[in-house]
Amino acid sequence: MLVLTRRTGEAFVIGEGIRVIVLAVEGERVKLGIEAPREVPVVRSELLAVVEAANRQAAGTRTQVLERLKRVFTSTSRSSRLPS
Amino acid sequence: MIERLPETMTARSRQGELIFPNGLIGCPTWRHFAVEEPGDLPGLLLLRSLDEPGIEFVVAPVAELVPDFLEQLAPNDRATLAALGVGISEEVELWVTLSVHDDGTVTANLLGPLVLDFGRGCGTQVVLADSGWGTRHPLVTE
């Protein structure tokens, strides 16, 4: 892992199109500005883990989802609802 | 409160294949999907992986689940989607994967929706980090 030390207002560059600027350091929080091409997604890493987990969960429930939805929409019961 | 599948859900034929050049988030090898329509649940689609047997998603159009979804997004997220053609090209649509849980709840992943370009036959999964949506937005509850 490359480790860099930067002060507020200083930046570093990744490749040819990504520039990361240290905007502020407030206690344990560092505020970064990121300039990147629009096609380069910039996402907090913890969100990637959450979405990956959701993908893996959804990938294995096709039959159950369809059966559940069929039950809901063919039932005359009003007990199951789609909240908006 | 919606109590049934919206009647406005269209049954336009979407069958074919979609390529996700970067795969799905956290699953970069899931790149090629067959698009199928579940006959008895019009408006939904099935994405069946052509790369890995057993990987299948039930997906629904966001516009039918949360009609003002785009308007509710943070400007940054809205710009991300616009750059991919959502709201600009009629052939680019926002869809979400559905999951069912042990208690019977069906949820939609609105944090990480799928941008599907039916015109070009490709897709991208995005993370809408700034708008407050989660991966388990409840659609059907007990």
- Among A70-84, B39-53, B89-103, B113-127, the minimum mean pLDDT is found in A70-84
Q: By CA distance, what is A50's nearest residue in B? A: B135
Per the model's pLDDT, the better-predicted residue between A53 and B142 turns out to be A53
CB contact B74 to A (< 8 Å): no
Strand partners, A25: A30
Q: Is the pLDDT of residue B83 over 80?
A: yes
In order of A46, A81, B107, B129, the CA distances from A42 in angstroms are 12, 36, 25, 10
Taking 50 as the threshold, does the pLDDT of residue B11 lie above it? no
Query: What residues are paired with A30 via a beta bridge?
Result: A25
Residue B95's closest CA among B76, B79, B75, B109?
A: B109
| B135/A50 CB distance under 8 A | yes
pLDDT in tens, A10-63: 999 999 889 999 999 999 999 999 998 877 778 888 999 999 999 999 998 888
A9 vs A22: CA distance, rounded Å: 5
Chain A and chain B share a number of CB contacts under 8 A equal to 127
pLDDT in tens, B15-47: 789 999 989 999 999 999 999 998 888 889 999
| Ramachandran quadrant class, A27 (left: phi over 0; alpha: psi -120 to 50; beta: rest) | left
Instruction: Specify whether the backbone of B91 is left (phi greater than 0), alpha (psi in -120 to 50) or beta.
Output: alpha
The torsion region of residue B9 among left (phi > 0), alpha (psi -120 to 50) and beta comes to: beta
On whether ipTM exceeds 0.90, the answer is no
pLDDT over threshold 50, residue B9: no
Per-residue pLDDT, averaged over B40-62, amounts to: 93
Paired residues of B66 in beta bridges: none
Query: For residue A84, which residues of chain B lie inside 8 Å, CB to CB?
Result: 1-2, 66
Chain B segment 31-70 residues within 8 A of A by beta carbon are 38, 40-41, 44, 46, 49, 54-58, 66
Q: Hey, is the C-beta of A84 within 8 angstroms of any chain B C-beta?
A: yes
- How confident is the model at residue B13, as a pLDDT? 60
Nearest chain A residue to B62 by CA distance is A84
Neighbours of B57 (CB within 10 A): 26
Q: Check if the beta carbon of residue B7 is closer than 8 Å to that of residue A36.
A: no
CA distance B128 to B142: 28
Is A4 part of the contact surface with chain B (CB cutoff 8 Å)? no
Which residue, among B33, B57, B54, B29, has the nearest Cα to B45 in the 3D structure? B57
Res A40: pLDDT: 78
Beta bridge partners of B17: B34
Hey, what domains does chain B have and what are their CATH numbers?
16-139 (2.30.290.10)
